[in-house]
Structure 1
Amino acid sequence: MSTILTAQNVYEAQRETLKLAWQSGKAGANRLLELATARFPGMALVGHLNFVHPNRVQVIGTNETAYLYEHITPEARQLALAELFGSPSSAIVIVANGQDVPDEMRRAADAASMPLFSSSLPSPRVIHDLQYYLARALAEREILHGVFMEVMGLGVFLTGESGVGKSELALELLSRGHRLIADDACEFFRIGPDGLQGRCPDMLCDFLEVRGLGILNIRAMFGETAVRHEKTLHLIVRLKDYTSNPQSGIDRLQAEQKTRAILGIEVAEVALFVAPGRNLAVLVEVATRGHILRRRGINALEDFIHRQSLAMKSP
């Protein structure tokens, strides 16, 4: 699943950050900024003026203005502006560096229904900020059922069948000083070739549903530091009912590090069995500590095997 943005969405989201002013072409407010690979493979989302491979957002800095108004003839400029504002590949044109927007640009934008913005910020800053915003806003995403927590600074996703005790475990972790990110529905999206970010849908922020207690406002109950809006995903903890998974099927040594693929990215996963008397909150903390050690190159099982091998070789 991916999000579709319009020029109007971009303007509203970045108006204050980029100090945008809508100069012309308001009839094109619904022009789409699709994924870079949606229709035009290899096309960049944001960049300086490019006629060969038009960007979705064409940014005009001082060098581009100098090219249009100092280095080519008026006739060639008219053709260039017609090509710029008439390009089906582009959705927005931004004149940066606090430059005055020429009237002929305004007329060309209105004629083509191409949104024309201006910004007082330098063009490299406009490009950098928009690239970051659009990469996240247009990222492929997936909504998964579970509870997303921050445990010891890592993003830990608690998953399992309905009724297995995910919310109760989250409540126990909260009481131990950890933080809630999302309950029931967590939205994950790619932030890079090997990274996933998880966040809570706006309608569910701060709330946790626990059977027998109903809806709890975690921010009001535990304080501002008990919740956060998003976090990078590091570890998945899958809760399994012990009664439906006999002990004979449990890998006690956990010799193989299991993973789960989300949006094409492999994420480390551990399984915890739910049974009376087991302190799952402590087990989640230990699983998180173990994951931190593995990331540092410390593997308890390998150390144990190495110690046994040395013992067997010794006289």
Structure 2
Amino acid sequence: MIESLQSLIAQTGSRLKLQWLTPEPVTPRPLRDDHPGRARQSLIGSLNCIHPNRLQVIGHAEILYLNELGRTAYTETVKKLFTDRPTAVIFSDGIEPDPGLREAAVQSSTPLLGSALGDEELINHLRYFLTHALADRLTLHGVFIEVLGMGVLLVGDPAVGKSELALDLVARGHRLIADDAPRFARIAPETLEGTCPETLRDFLEVRGLGVLNIRAMFGEGAVVRSKTLNLIIDLQPLDHQQLQSIDRLSGSLSTCTILGVVIPRITMPVAPGRNLAILVEAAVRHQILRIRGYDAGVDFVDRQARAISLDRPDPPRSIR
């Protein structure tokens, strides 16, 4: 888990050519700040003293800006930079900080780092890495599977048939992501990415058969490491009264909020004789059409309304 500057450098330092320009801190330096005024700071970006980043990057453009400031403005800007207590200040393009910056960093106990990479390349790589490493995470019970390019989470009570349905879908050419404990991370404001814990990867437990290795049985194309969560299908054994209460036009579509992201959810009745694999495929195709702006229920109602209007035309107006 990446939570400190030191662990970030340990994992990305060699690839991004990062090196310490000041002595490495003895105690872990957190990448996040719990202080209310700094909790919403951006993780990384070019030098910004108005909306400071946790990792402030200084490249050629920032050095040119600082050098063009007068003595007083330069001193105030540098003071503001370190007063905001960033996790670290990173100099890109092989830039060496001047003595004034080094002295201010030492006085504020702020680490300085250097990289031979350009500022844009460095920021892009670190932003992508940190977005995934520090994303809010949640483990859910269910089977996460890719169906027709959509990430579908199968949920329901134990022994309802989630794993058997997943096995049927894999046999039909779809791909398994995670069984039992898929882990979801919010990597964007409206995006959840689901992955599988390393120890469970490729495995699917089916009652009566035990643990199956899907990769070994069906090949490399039957599994995938991660996928965006697009739809939740809740498998429920419903009685006659519950079935009658389902809307005949819109079905059982609802929503579920996970880590602040709203995900479409469909309650799918489980009963003998129902081909759940085909129904899941149909539900996914139906959801794809909804995303594209088409709703069959609305289309059906409009068609019936047009048919009624044709069967019962308005009475002719009287001529006076």
After TM superposition, the score normalised by the length of structure 1 is 0.85
Contact 2:33 2:39 in 1 (8 A): no
1:128 is aligned to 124
Deviation at 1:283, TM superposition (A): 0.7
1:285 is aligned to: 281
CA contact (8 A) 1:37 1:43 kept: no
Match of 2:156 among 151, 156, 160: 160
The CA distance in 1 between the partners of 2:27 and 2:228, in whole Å, is 33
Question: Which stretch has the larger CA shift, 18-27 or 107-116?
Answer: 107-116
Cα distance in 1 between the residues matched to 2:12 and 2:179: 29
Compared with structure 1, are the counterparts of its residues 67 and 223 closer, same or farther at alpha carbon in structure 2 (3 Å cutoff)?
Answer: same
Q: Structure 2 vs 1, CA of residues 187 and 39 (structure 1 numbering), >3 Å: closer, same or farther?
A: farther
CA distance in 2: counterparts of 1:35 and 1:168, whole angstroms: 45
> 1:189 is matched with which residue?
185
Instruction: Describe the SS at the equivalent of 2:192.
Output: strand
The percentage of counterpart residues that share the same residue type is: 46
- Contact preservation (8 Å) 1:34, 1:138: no
Which moved further from structure 2: 101-110 or 259-268? 101-110
What residue in structure 1 maps to residue 316 of structure 2? none
1:268-292 CA-to-partner distances (Å, cap 9, x unmatched) read 1111111222111111001001111
Q: Does 1:96 align with 2:92?
A: yes
Task: Judge conservation of contact 1:147–1:170 (CA < 8 Å) in 2.
Answer: yes
Aligned to 1:301: 297
Residue 234 of structure 1: which of 230, 233, 236 is its match? 230
Deviations 1:96-140 (A, max 9, x none): 012245677667656755443221111122122222322332222
Match of 2:256 in 1: 260
Measure, in 1, the Cα distance between the counterparts of 2:80 and 2:308. 77
Q: Is the deviation greater in 33-42 or in 92-101?
A: 33-42
Max Rg structure:
2
Instruction: Give 1:300's aligned amino acid.
Output: A
Letter in structure 2 aligned against 1:278: R
Amino acid at match of 2:63: T
Which residue is equivalent to 1:47? Answer: 45
Q: Is the 8 A contact 1:27 1:110 kept in 2?
A: no
Unaligned runs of 5+ in 2: 312-320
Q: Select which of 4, 7, 21 maps to 1:6.
A: 4
Measure, in 1, the Cα distance between the counterparts of 2:306 and 2:14: 64
Q: Could you state the TM-score of these two structures normalised by the residue count of structure 2?
A: 0.84
- Matched with 1:198 is 194
2:29 is aligned, of 19, 27, 31, to 31
Offset at 1:82?
A: 7.1
Q: Distance in 2 between matches of 1:161 and 1:133?
A: 36
Task: Tell me the number of residue pairs that the alignment of Structure 1 and Structure 2 aligns.
Answer: 311
Q: Greater shift after overlay, 107-116 or 180-189? A: 107-116
- Do the aligned residues in 1 keep the contact of 2:252 with 2:267 (CA within 8 Å)? no
Residue of structure 1 equivalent to 2:318: none
List alignment gaps of at least 5 residues for structure 1.
none
Q: Which has the higher contact order (CA 8 A, sep 6+)?
A: 1
